[in-house]
Amino acid sequence: MTIPLLSWAWVLSGLILILLVLLHSPKGDGMGGIASSGSSMFTSAKSAEASLSRVTWTFLAIFMSLAIILSARWLS
């Protein structure tokens, strides 16, 4: 009973982790930075980025812990 529940939690945490990584702002503009004005580089949302980073690291820890528990078959 616990293995299917943990498997679903692992899948759900993986999907949330993908979403959180995609929500992060890019660190560099790449080739698009050549043509842009550069004003988008300076934002005042550092606390939002720090909170998003903390949540992302938390979900990464949950995802990796569940992956280790499920692959080691400690609950079988």
pLDDT tens for the chain, 76 residues long, are 899 999 999 999 999 999 999 998 887 655 555 555 555 544 556 788 889 999 999 999 999 999 999 999 888 7
Give me the helices (H) in the chain, please: 2-23, 32-35, 46-72
Q: What is the pLDDT of residues 11-29, one digit of tens each?
A: 999 999 999 999 988 876 5
Q: What is the mean pLDDT of the chain?
A: 83
Q: Where are the domains of the chain?
A: 1-23+46-76
Alpha-carbon dihedral of residues 73, 74, 75, 76, nearest 10 degrees? 50
